[in-house]
Structure 1
């Protein structure tokens, strides 16, 4: 009972901030353009600041280990499956398929993963490695697919190659992550005034993204031209991939059949894999001019379902059962 209470406490800020955003949208408190403006603020300003500080403070040498490999296997397989299903069965193009793949496999590691890990595992160190993997490996792949999939101009292959090579410069999320890697690798000590400013700015990323998500619940997203509406089957597939298939793959890879992780490590891998879709999927879809319906509904629905799947994982693999 205590563990369930701890999980509910971890979810409380998400529901509270999303509800505040919904109330603000319903009351027209922030104006008609609030969702678009706040989304741009998160993507171009607050999120890059948060990622830069997160990566620059990280120890990259401990990034690759068996637990990260088990988590990565689930993420890569499920994200690829989400992209494949979106294109083959629901007729989505590359960019929308990338959002579907992201909604299927990109976990809410920061604002939910950390409190859940602290409450259930008593330690959030593995979550930091999950964040690094998603920031340095998964995000660039997703953003590359989005960038290429939303390029409406048919260009020569050289221009396309140039566009791909210059994307880190044009994309603030990737640029901030790369700069963070450089600072971490060189051991550079940044001025305290600068890091404090980045910390303040980065701390606005998660709450603003949740407020933006809440705003979107009151307004019906405008679908992109020629985009098919998102049905229950498509949403259900994404949520099932995220909350059920991804942790099951992580368990299969990390369990005795392959990597044979010990009890606490296996619990950490499965627990992090069972986290719901990150609101980043919604922010990315909005900033690339895509229909945000699937991303928005996946965040909300997977967060509801994950309350059960996280509890099940903690019960099944916890100390009393592991």
Structure 2
């Protein structure tokens, strides 16, 4: 099982080291995140699903779906009520608590613990074709866009993260393999999705140090204000995406137009947060990360086991169900948070914490149910 986790830790660490040294510049996180969301991830999901035999075990998959819905609903309510999170931020919190890493980590873990990854097919289909559209609709609404039934029906056509796996599942259902002229470029593009997402995650871990800038002695001298005694000095020009304020920065982040519309500026607004972004890293954020990590690694597997036993799932299917429910948070959660500008710190750190701790909980589940 360790072999399944090591590449994730190594690539995330590589991204962190790259960010610390500033090798890719200040825009690397934004550019790489957009590349994963709009190009690489859709291609990866299309390739994976188009090459997979669809074998859906309904009782076990139904129990998994119930555990996902219950955990995400609980996380949404807790984030919205107890943590005072807005709708978009609560949606990312719900995704962090219930959206499992079913692809790049789930498959090797399933092979190690279960001996095959058949059950992961249904889990992957459920997450990308049911959960992802719901999450994107909620994030879309948090950006201030009016909801209309037609927008929901055309969401797969407007969003590559849904269109890719939907087309892949259709190919699998029809037993049609795309010709090499189409499949080979998509497979090559999709192969970049997971490593790029992990490097982007690592880059995000250095966001605070990059925001703080170079040491004072290395910073350029700001433009001169009026002479002493003639009035207050002129404020430094605000950074892109920020508005200067006394002792604080009000960050207004544009929400991307993932459906072809113009971007909105009613994104995440954080008032009174120091320029280093420390407000997002305080005790409140740590408590929220701990809460969401507990829901992901402990509560969701318990719910999955309970519902599975209730509907008669036993043996290897029960083990597969609980193992899949105990997988850590998918890095897609951070990619979505980064793309929409919602709860990025919480999403990122929940991915890191659950990935670091999941090996212990998965080993315990294997020992108890295996």
TM-score by length of 2: 0.78
Secondary structure of 1:231's aligned partner? helix
Query: Cα distance, 1:181 vs. partner?
Result: 3.4
Which residue pairs with 2:297 in the alignment? Answer: 243
* Distance (Å, rounded) in 1 between the aligned partners of 2:38 and 2:185: 16
* Distance (Å, rounded) in 2 between the aligned partners of 1:67 and 1:291: 32
Correspondence 1:71 to 2:64: yes
- Structure showing greater Rg: 2
Match of 1:169 among 140, 154, 157: 157
Secondary structure of 1:32's aligned partner? coil
Correspondence 1:317 to 2:361: no
Query: Cα distance, 1:64 vs. partner?
Result: 5.0
| Structure 1 portions without partners, runs of 5+ | 1-6
User: Aligned pairs, how many?
Assistant: 304
| Structure 2 portions without partners, runs of 5+ | 212-250, 254-267, 272-278
Which residue pairs with 2:191 in the alignment? Answer: 203
Query: Cα distance, 1:172 vs. partner?
Result: 1.0
Which residue pairs with 1:55 in the alignment? Answer: 49
Which residue pairs with 1:233 in the alignment? Answer: 287
* Distance (Å, rounded) in 2 between the aligned partners of 1:125 and 1:165: 30
Secondary structure of 1:226's aligned partner? strand
Q: Larger relative CO (CA 8 A, sep 6+): 1 or 2?
A: 1
Match of 2:103 among 99, 106, 110: 110
Query: Cα distance, 1:11 vs. partner?
Result: 0.8
Query: Cα distance, 1:57 vs. partner?
Result: 2.9
* Distance (Å, rounded) in 2 between the aligned partners of 1:8 and 1:59: 27
Which residue pairs with 2:341 in the alignment? Answer: 289
Query: Cα distance, 1:128 vs. partner?
Result: 2.0
RMSD: 1.9
Which residue pairs with 2:221 in the alignment? Answer: none
Deviations 1:19-45 (A, max 9, x none): 010111111111111100000000000
* Distance (Å, rounded) in 1 between the aligned partners of 2:317 and 2:153: 37
* Distance (Å, rounded) in 1 between the aligned partners of 2:336 and 2:36: 10
* Distance (Å, rounded) in 1 between the aligned partners of 2:286 and 2:341: 22
Which residue pairs with 2:246 in the alignment? Answer: none
Residues 274 and 66 of structure 1, relative CA distance in 2, 3 Å threshold = same
Say whether the 8 Å CA contact 1:63–1:132 is kept in structure 2: no
**Structure showing the higher helix proportion among its residues:** 1
* Distance (Å, rounded) in 1 between the aligned partners of 2:341 and 2:11: 24
Which residue pairs with 1:46 in the alignment? Answer: 40
* Distance (Å, rounded) in 1 between the aligned partners of 2:348 and 2:120: 23
Deviations 1:172-202 (A, max 9, x none): 1112222223333444442112111111111
* Distance (Å, rounded) in 1 between the aligned partners of 2:364 and 2:106: 16
Correspondence 1:19 to 2:10: no
Correspondence 1:268 to 2:320: yes
TM-score by length of 1: 0.89
